[in-house]
Chains A and B, each alone.
Chain A
Amino acid sequence: MTTTTNPPHQAPHGPPFPDPLPRIPLVWGPATYDSLSEQISSITEKPQPYWWWPAFLITASLLCGGVLAATYLISTGVGVWGSNNPVNWAFDITNFVFWIGIGHAGTLISAILFLFRQKWRTSINRFSEAMTIFAVICAGIYPGIHVGRFWYAWFMFPLPNANHIFPNFRSALLWDLFAVSTYFTVSLIFWYIGLIPDLATLRDRAKSRMRQRIFGFLSLGWRGSTRNWRHYEVAYLMLAGLSTPLVLSVHSVVSFDFATSIIPGWHTTIFPPYFVAGAIFGGFAMVLQCMIPARAAYKLENVVTIKHIDVMCKFILATGSLVGYAYLMELFIAWFSGNPYEWQTFKNRAFDGDYTWAYWVMMTCNLIIPQVFWVRWCRQTPWFVLIVVTFVNVGMWYERFVIIVQSLHHDFLPGSWGQFYPTWVDWLQMLGDFGLFFTLTLLFIRLLPMVAVAEVKGVLPMANPHYHFVPTGQYLKGSEGEYPTADHALAATYGAPSLPITEVKPHSEPVPPFIPTPGGRGTPWGAIAEFANGTQLLEAAKKTLAAGYKHIDAWTPFYVHGMKEAIGRTRSRLPLFTLAGALTGLTAAVAMQFYFSAYYYPIIVGGKEYRSWEAFVPIFFEMTVLVAGFFTLLALIGLCGLPRLFHPVDSHPTFHRSTQGGFFLTIEAKDEKFNPDETRAFLESLGGRHVAVVEA
């Protein structure tokens, strides 16, 4: 095995064309599959650093404050909040929209950047997906408690009340329920599917029986089989494809809460994309807010590099500019339309109203301050970034406050103008959300791998058979012989990446040729061989297939490109299940809404016809995605034959490395060509080590 210190790199042949601007690897400095598994997994295995418990106590106290505020609200009534008439919505909806928005960055990173093949996402996607889920939980509190009578929470669901009237399917608030619950469910599925290989790594590293059982159960018996990987990769793609329009729809539906009314400042056509851009903007800020301290505390600078922070800052700049564009459009059209109500609302917001200060807090934090990210130093100095993203988070909270409170306090008639003053319960509830969010984040860091280790392994230079390793002194110097940018020079100071491992890690004692399985049937299950790296395994698999074996499988810590073809498999059929789920969900949504709104209890709301399909579209879409997501998860589990908690290969003494840094090839005994001795000899002739036949 290669040590982590760097020997002189060999350059057998360079890239075909001059490469004056080499790509900077995503992980800086030397790193192997094993070192990454160790670096990330050990965080959850070792005792926490000294600051963890004090931090947890603070966030848990804030959370208790939130619980107290909610209890007081429910026991006393909604009057304990500052919400009044005309400002019926205030802190509650502001917090709801704020937290839903925070979640959007996670989905952007995990799904949209995946579709755009932005592989730097692998270092941060786990963390931000977890944040998505926690943020949606924070937001989900409000629909439940905001009228102070949570025992009527079932009014939100499509269930008939005592008069057989169903909830209004033409109401944005009902769409919100479908959107947010779909978002939560699909994000959870996506996050869980991403976690499976890493949970298996934790299982295989577990020192205690308890951890082994818990993570064995949670990982469903994942072992990195290529037959599973081929479904897994497609399932991941399907979920990314579903999540991408989903994330756009969720904040669009949230924007419909406002934009479908005709209140000045709310009713404008740019609201859906404007809210989505704002959500991603605020979400990225929150990811950095959490990631920068975590990165420093757990010494993850080689995995979440300065370059990652730099790119995220660019995203903040880009989405912040989109939000700025939306502000500009609103302002311009308010004037251009010649609509006096729109114009007076914006004048009131920006110049002469009671909440002008809030408007300028929003403009300063969201539009002006992030412009510093045009400068490289500002993007690459973590403490400075931390300050800027704090402003962005404040600004995004104020954006929702401005939209909601300012428009409500000053509408068409001077007779219905009013003011809003938050009470201590409002503040306590809001702080409680932050307590909940950070408590969950701290627990997540404590219990689960905060970086998607399996995905990061796949983007290491050593995982890329076409990567051109160069002598250490030349590392990241382009074909012109110098560092093309300051980023290259900075990355080079971390050292060159580790060379591919060319020798199998030796086992402490010799592996016997036949390995019995506890409670085995006496017949062989198949032969196992270990290889040093993915390229060797790929070659061996191709030769095995060419030799006439059919029941082959390759077991790898991450999906090796081309491996499914090497073991004689084709593309997974899983997309058909996703499509079936999508059609099922769509049909159900069409049937449900038309039946309840137009036939079962026809009712006119908002002057819309019974069968006005437009108002049903949000729920068409959400249910399509929801059921497609379920079908994808079930198809993945079913097609992979999971959960499989016990397997004959587990008896092999080094096989547990298949989820860390080991590459294995198996030939099953049911293969016509299988013969214990010949197959074993064949695998050895391919360069396999630790070759053994295991009992079924």
Chain B
Amino acid sequence: MSTASVTNGNGPSLSYPEGLPDRVAPLETEALAGGMRILFAVMLAAGTLLVLGLLVNAPQFYHSYLFGYVFALDISLGALFWVLIHHVADAGWSVGLRRVFENLTRAIVPLAVLFIPVLIGTFSGNLHAWYAFVHGPEPSEEHLQHLWHVKHVYFNTPFLLARLAVYFGVWIAYATAMRRWSLKQDAVGGAALTRTMQWWAPSGVVLLGVTSTFFAFDILMSLQYSWFSTIYGVYFWVGGLRGSLSSCVLIVLGLRAAGYLRQTITMEHLHDVAKLMFGFTVFWAYIAFAQYFLIWYGNVPEETQFYLLRRNGDWYTLSILLPILYFVVPFFVLLPRAHKRNPQWLAFAAAWILAMHAYDLYWQILPVLHNDTVHLHWLDIAAPLFFLGVVLASTFWGFANYPLIPIRDARLNETIGYENETP
């Protein structure tokens, strides 16, 4: 590959360093066209179904929509965390992977727009039960008055909208800034931009942690507004980390299968990602167990309501299966070293975790609508498919327009030809 300026498709004109083992220019539009057609067809079909669903069954639509929405948002926020933590840790091995995560964060902007239906659901009284509670008169029962006053303050409309604006503002600002600097470095190289990103990243981690926690409180935990759990923000965060790692693995394996990045992001890198997937599988079990266990042991009605609701009818089966499917299965699949270094096993594990991440969110959100038992609606399939389409389309828009890896990153030497030294 020459160092001369190369114009690639619709990407910017860049000089690629000599000695890269693969072609890392933006994906050719023709190569993508087939996949994109299928993707847009699926999104169009799912989108049509969603619109139809709104007309047929509004409460079901809003809950399914929220389910699909959070599934996608969680993945993008997880990806933003990995971008930031790469800079915080001054990592070298993961430079190539960082571009995948940077592209995954592209979904945050369309998702900010797609949040509007959730707000409509809330303010039309179809989604969050607290809406009717805090906008109703002060209850006469004494034990509800205290609750009413607190929720009245916290969920008053301007305050809620201001908070949401701050959350999305922080996410968009950091995701865009990190991506812009990274892409600028593709053109100019050097250490200055790396240091800029490293300077800003720690504050991003702090802000991302606080904003995503309160997003989880405001939008998910408040589905049962008299319930509360201090660990809920961490639970939400771990889900996003697992979802984004799995998405990254599937995208990289897909690119590799199509002949891209074969020598650039190798099984040595993916082995490390697999270790993180394994680690956060255990961490999820830890957090999930801590929440369940302390509520079970304390046995206080206002806390146990969360789990009691999920014991009704078939929800009980889903509750029992959740730790088995989301922890035990991936734990044993990812435990042997050979599986972590095998593309087929890894693809299976990643797809499984991603599917179980959706299962987990379904289990968190839908019981609020269907108290008695599980009613799987076609909207519960259409919504996550649509939002997965949003994530994929945004991600591949990035791959189609910018180099597949940060081509002039200061730590390029450490990621190309990286060897995993695990004994």
Contact = CB atoms under 8 A, between A and B. Distances in A.
Contact of B189 (A18, A270, A326, A561): A18
Given A260-B294, A329-B230, A333-B230, A20 B410 contact: yes
A117 B191 CA distance: 23
Given A245-B282, A617-B289, A259 B423 contact: no
B234 A484 contact: no
B233 A329 contact: yes
A272 B288 CA distance: 11
Contact of B231 (A115, A270, A321, A571): A270
B184 interface: no
A261 B213 CA distance: 25
A258 to B, nearest CB: 10
Contacts of A364: none
B243 to A, nearest CB: 20
From A15, A244, A338, A561, residue with most partner B Cβ within 10 Å: A338
A234 interface: yes
A338 B413 contact: no
A262 interface: yes
A234 B423 CA distance: 6
A42 B416 CA distance: 41
A335 interface: yes
A339 B151 CA distance: 12
A273 B293 contact: no
Contacts of B213: 325, 329
Given A117-B421, A237-B423, A329-B230, A16 B194 contact: no
A16 B337 CA distance: 30
A507 to B, nearest CB: 33
Interface in A314-368: 321, 325-326, 328-330, 333, 335-340
B86 interface: no
Nearest to A276: B286
A252 B290 contact: yes
Contacts of A335: 150
A601 to B, nearest CB: 22
B361 interface: no
A484 B90 CA distance: 14
Interface residues of B, number: 56
B206 A321 contact: yes
Contact of B416 (A17, A21, A269, A271): A17
A21 B230 contact: no
Nearest to A559: B423
A336 B154 CA distance: 8
Contacts of B422: 237
Contacts of B233: 329
A488 to B, nearest CB: 10
Nearest to A245: B282
Contact of B412 (A17, A256, A329, A561): A17
A273 B234 contact: yes
From A248, A333, A335, A571, residue with most partner B Cβ within 10 Å: A333
B287 A273 contact: yes
Interface string A363-375: 0000000000010
Interface string B79-104: 00000000000001000000000000
B411 interface: yes
Nearest to B210: A325
Contacts of B190: 20, 480
From B191, B209, B299, residue with most partner A Cβ within 10 Å: B191
B19 A17 contact: yes
Contacts of B231: 269-270, 272-273, 329
Contacts of A478: 191
A317 B228 CA distance: 28
A260 B202 CA distance: 34
Interface string B299-326: 1101000000000000000000000000
B146 interface: yes
B298 interface: yes
B297 A17 contact: no
B8 interface: no
Contacts of B290: 252, 269, 271-273
B339 to A, nearest CB: 13
A472 B154 CA distance: 62
Contacts of A559: 423
Nearest to B228: A337
Contact of B413 (A15, A115, A259, A260): A15
B191 A21 contact: yes
A337 B413 CA distance: 51
A20 B422 CA distance: 28
Contacts of A252: 286, 290
Contacts of B423: 230, 233-234, 236-237, 559, 571-572
Contact of A330 (B147, B195, B230, B292): B230
B364 interface: no
B17 A269 contact: no
A268 B337 CA distance: 37
Given A270-B234, A273-B287, A17 B209 contact: no
Nearest to A235: B423
A20 B189 CA distance: 9
B217 interface: yes
B118 interface: no
A614 interface: yes
Contacts of B230: 268-270, 326, 329-330, 333
B291 interface: yes
Nearest to A326: B230
Contacts of B297: 256, 260, 606, 614-615
B373 interface: no
B251 interface: no
Contacts of B300: 262, 267
A260 B92 CA distance: 43
Given A15-B413, A262-B300, A338-B147, A248 B286 contact: yes
Contacts of B210: 325, 328
B150 A269 contact: no
Contacts of A273: 231, 234, 286-287, 290
15 contacts: A17-B413, A18-B412, A21-B191, A230-B423, A236-B423, A256-B297, A259-B298, A260-B297, A269-B290, A271-B294, A325-B210, A329-B213, A329-B233, A336-B217, A614-B292
Interface of A: 15-21, 23, 115, 117, 230, 233-234, 236-237, 244-245, 248, 252, 256, 259-262, 267-273, 321, 325-326, 328-330, 333, 335-340, 374, 478, 480, 484-485, 559, 561, 571-572, 575, 606-607, 614-615, 617
Given A261-B298, A336-B150, 12 more contacts: A21-B194, A233-B423, A234-B423, A244-B279, A256-B294, A260-B297, A267-B294, A268-B294, A270-B231, A571-B423, A615-B297, A617-B289
Interface of B: 17, 19, 92, 146-147, 149-151, 154, 189-191, 194-195, 202, 206, 209-210, 213, 217, 226, 228-234, 275, 279, 282, 286-287, 289-300, 302, 337, 408, 410-413, 416, 421-423
A-B complex: 8 closest residue pairs judged by Cβ atoms: A233-B423, A270-B230, A338-B147, A20-B191, A269-B231, A21-B410, A21-B191, A337-B228
